[in-house]
Structure 1
Amino acid sequence: MTQLGRLYPMLDSVTLPDNLPYTQVSTWELQFLYLVGRHVLTGDDRIVELGSGGGGSTYALALGLHESPVFDAKTGRLHAYDFFRVGKGTFATEKFFTGGTKPADDNSFLDDFKSRLEPFLPFLEIHAGDLWQTSDPDDHSPVEFLHIDIAKTARVFRCVSERFLTRLRPGSVVLHQDFAGPRLPWLHYSTGALLPYIEIAGPPIRSTLAFEVTRPIPEEVLTAITEDSFPYERKLELISAVQERIDRDHTGGIPFRSVLELAKAYVAHYDGRHRQAWSIARRLTGDEYLARTRADHFKQLRTAYDKEGSPLAKLVRRAVGR
C-alpha cells in the first residue's frame, strides 16, 4: 500500500472550516487534499496545484501543509496556477468572486483569491494567466505533488505533460481531479501509459484519481504523452488497462468503468470516427449514472453521427450528386 492508500481510513476524521472558499470540488476531495498536505508532503520539492479556481482546494491543501509537522513554511512553497479570471476558455465561474457575481468592470477574481488565502500567503506562490505563459519551460526541478484540475483541453494538457509530468520522480504524488470527465480522454489513456510506473492509491475519491510514482518514467513514454502520438487503437487499449484497475469511486456512486467506456467514444469522436463513437456510446445509454449525468454527451455524439450519416446514406448522396 502506498502512503496515499493509508489516508482513506482517515477521511471521516477530517473536519474542515465551514467558511472554505467556494469550490466545485467535493467535500471528500477537499478532505483528501488536506490529508495529503498534513501527512504526506514535505515541501522539499515543488508542490503544484494546476487550476486553483476560487481557492477551496488550495485552502484545504494549504491548511494541511500549515498543520504538517515536517513542512517548513519558510522554505517550502505551494505553487497555485490559474487564469484567475472569468471569460471564454477559462472554464471559471462567477461564483469565484466574493459576491458571487462578476463586477461590471473586472473579469479577475485574483484579489478575491488572495483575500481568502491570506493566512497562507507567506508560502503561497501565485501564477496568474495562461499556463503556457506562466510556467517556466526551463524549470526542471522535481515535483513532489501535482494536483491537475486544469486540463480541460488537449492544448492545456500538452503543457501539463511537457512542463510538469516530465518532472515527476519516484515518490511524486499526482491527483487527477477531472478523471470522471469522459470528454477528457487524454487523462485516461495517458494514465494507462503510466501504469507500469505508478501505483494507484485506491478507488477514486469522487472525481479524483490519486496515484504515486513508483518507478522512473521513461522519456519515450513522456514524449508520447506530450505529443499525443498514440494511435487510435492504442488509446482504447490504454483506457481498457485503466478500467481493469478501477471500478467505482470510494462512495460507490460513480461507475468508472462505464465513464471510461464513454471516454473511448470521445477518443473516436475527436479522431473524426463519429460512427464508431456513437456505436460505443449507444451501448451505454442504459447506464443509470451516465443517463442522469451525461445526457449532453450522448446528444453531442449522436448529433455528430447524424451529421456524418450512415454508410448507406453516404452512398445515396453520392448517387444523387449531393
Structure 2
Amino acid sequence: MTNLGRLYPLLDDVQLPDTIPYSQVSTWELRFLYLLGRHHLTGRDRIVELGSGGGGSTYALALGLKESPVFDERTGKLHAYDFFRVGKGTFASEKFFTAGTKPEDGNSFLDDFRRHLEPFLPFLEIHAGDLWQTSDPHDTSPVEFLHIDIAKTARVFRCVTERFLTRLRPGSVVLHQDFAGPRLPWLHHSTGALLPYIEIAGPPIRSTLAFEVVRPIPEEVLRTIAQDAYTVDEKLDLISAVQDRLDRDHTGGIPFTSVLEFAKAYVAHYAGDHKRAWALAKPLTGDAYLSRTRADHFTQLRTAYEQDRERHGGGSKLGKLVKKAVGR
C-alpha cells in the first residue's frame, strides 16, 4: 500500500457536516480532502488549493487541518486561489452564491466564500483574481500539498507548472481534480512525464488522481511540460504510460482507460490534426460511460473533422467530381 493509500480504507467512515458549502466535487473527493488534512498534512510547507470555487473542497480540507493533531493554526496556512466570480473564462457556477443564483448587483461570490469558511479564516489566505496575477513568480517556498482544480485551459496550466509544480519536493502531494476530463489532456501527458518521480496513491477517487512526489523532479522535465514542448506522438506515448497504471476509479464507475484514450484524441485535435483526432475518438463511441457523459465531446471532434475534410476537398472521388461540376 502506498503512503497515501492508507487513507482509502477510511473513506467510508468520514461524516462531513451538513454545513459544508456547495461543491462540484463529489462526496468521495471531499472525504479524501478531509482525510489528507486530518491524517497526512503538517502545514510546515505551503498548502495550496488552486480553484476553490464556492468553498466546498476548501471547507473539507480546512476541517481536516483544524482537527489534525500536528497542524498548527498559528503558523500553518491554507492558500485558496480562484477568480471568486462568475463570468466568461472563470468556469464558475452561480450555485457558488449562497442564494444559488447571481445577484443583480455583482458577479463576485467572494463574500459568500468568506462567510462559509469563517471558522477557518484565521489560517486561510485568500488569493482572488487571475492566477497569473495573484501568484508570485518569485516564490520558491516548498509546497507540501497542491490541489489542482483550475487548469481548465493550457494557459492556466502553464502558470500552474511554472509557479507551483516547480516547488514540489519529495513528500509533496498533488491532486488533479479534473483527471476524468478528456478535454484537458495536459493533465494526462504531464502526469506521464512525471511518472518516474511520483507514486500514484491508488485508483482515482472519482475524477481525482492523487500522487506523491518520491524523487526530485528535474528542471528540464518541468520546463518541457510548461512550454508544451512534447510532440503529439510523445504526448500520446506519455498518456499510454498513465493508462498502464490506471483502470477504473475506486468506485468502479469511471473507466479511465477509455477516458485517457479520449484525451489522446484531444491532443491531436488541439494540434489541428482533426482526422487523427476523430480516428482516435470514433472507436470510443461504443463506450457506455463516454457515450452517456461525453456526447458533446464526440460531436465536437466529429464536426471539426468533417469541416476540415470539407475545407480540404475530402470525400469520395464521385463527390469531388459532383462538387467540381456544380462549381463548388
For the aligned pair, the TM-score class normalised by the smaller chain equals over 0.9
TM-score (norm 1): 0.98
Q: Residue 174 of structure 1 aligns to a residue in which SS?
A: strand
Q: Is the 8 A contact 1:3 1:40 kept in 2?
A: no
d(CA) in 2 for partners of 1:26, 1:312: 44
Listed as ranges, the matches of 1:248-287 within 5 Å are: 248-287=248-287
Number of the residue aligned with 2:200: 200
Which deviations, in whole Å up to 9, do the C-alpha atoms of 1:215-252 show, x marking residues without a partner?
A: 00001100001000001100000000000000000000
Q: Is the 8 A contact 2:145 2:172 kept in 1?
A: yes
d(CA) in 2 for partners of 1:67, 1:276: 51
TM-score (norm 2): 0.96
What letter is aligned with 2:315?
Answer: A
Number of the residue aligned with 1:147: 147
d(CA) in 2 for partners of 1:212, 1:12: 22
Q: Is the 8 A contact 1:158 1:226 kept in 2?
A: yes
Q: How big is the shift at 1:319?
A: 6.0
Q: How big is the shift at 1:2?
A: 2.8
Q: Is the 8 A contact 2:45 2:141 kept in 1?
A: yes
Q: Is the 8 A contact 2:269 2:301 kept in 1?
A: yes
What letter is aligned with 1:102?
Answer: K
Number of the residue aligned with 2:159: 159
Q: Residue 249 of structure 1 aligns to a residue in which SS?
A: coil
Q: Is the 8 A contact 1:198 1:212 kept in 2?
A: yes
What letter is aligned with 2:257?
Answer: R
Number of the residue aligned with 1:313: 315
What letter is aligned with 2:18?
Answer: D
Q: Residue 284 of structure 1 aligns to a residue in which SS?
A: helix
Number of the residue aligned with 1:60: 60
d(CA) in 2 for partners of 1:312, 1:125: 55
Number of the residue aligned with 1:138: 138
Number of the residue aligned with 1:302: 302
Which deviations, in whole Å up to 9, do the C-alpha atoms of 1:15-67 show, x marking residues without a partner?
A: 00012100000000000000000011000000000000000000000000000
Number of the residue aligned with 1:25: 25
Number of the residue aligned with 1:13: 13
Q: Residue 173 of structure 1 aligns to a residue in which SS?
A: strand
Q: Is the 8 A contact 1:11 1:28 kept in 2?
A: yes
d(CA) in 1 for partners of 2:228, 2:309: 28
What letter is aligned with 1:100?
Answer: G
Number of the residue aligned with 1:106: 106
What letter is aligned with 1:231?
Answer: T
Q: Residue 211 of structure 2 aligns to a residue in which SS?
A: strand
Q: Is the 8 A contact 2:2 2:202 kept in 1?
A: no
Which deviations, in whole Å up to 9, do the C-alpha atoms of 1:241-282 show, x marking residues without a partner?
A: 000000000000000000000000000000000011011110
d(CA) in 1 for partners of 2:261, 2:34: 31
Gaps of 5+ in 1: none
d(CA) in 1 for partners of 2:225, 2:205: 24
Change (3 A) 1:228 1:314: farther
Q: How big is the shift at 1:3?
A: 2.1
Q: How big is the shift at 1:13?
A: 1.1
Number of the residue aligned with 2:239: 239
Sequence identity of aligned pairs in percent? 79
Number of the residue aligned with 1:88: 88
Q: How big is the shift at 1:314?
A: 9.3
d(CA) in 2 for partners of 1:189, 1:130: 24
Q: Is the 8 A contact 2:165 2:222 kept in 1?
A: yes
Q: Is the 8 A contact 1:2 1:212 kept in 2?
A: no
d(CA) in 1 for partners of 2:195, 2:151: 19
d(CA) in 2 for partners of 1:66, 1:312: 61
Which deviations, in whole Å up to 9, do the C-alpha atoms of 1:169-207 show, x marking residues without a partner?
A: 000000000000000000000000000000000000000
Q: How big is the shift at 1:312?
A: 3.9
Gaps of 5+ in 2: none
What letter is aligned with 1:262?
Answer: F
**Paired positions, count:** 322
d(CA) in 2 for partners of 1:17, 1:273: 48
Question: What is the alpha-carbon root mean square deviation over aligned residues?
Answer: 1.4
d(CA) in 1 for partners of 2:266, 2:250: 25
Number of the residue aligned with 1:48: 48
Q: Residue 285 of structure 2 aligns to a residue in which SS?
A: coil
Change (3 A) 1:314 1:134: farther
Q: Residue 61 of structure 1 aligns to a residue in which SS?
A: helix
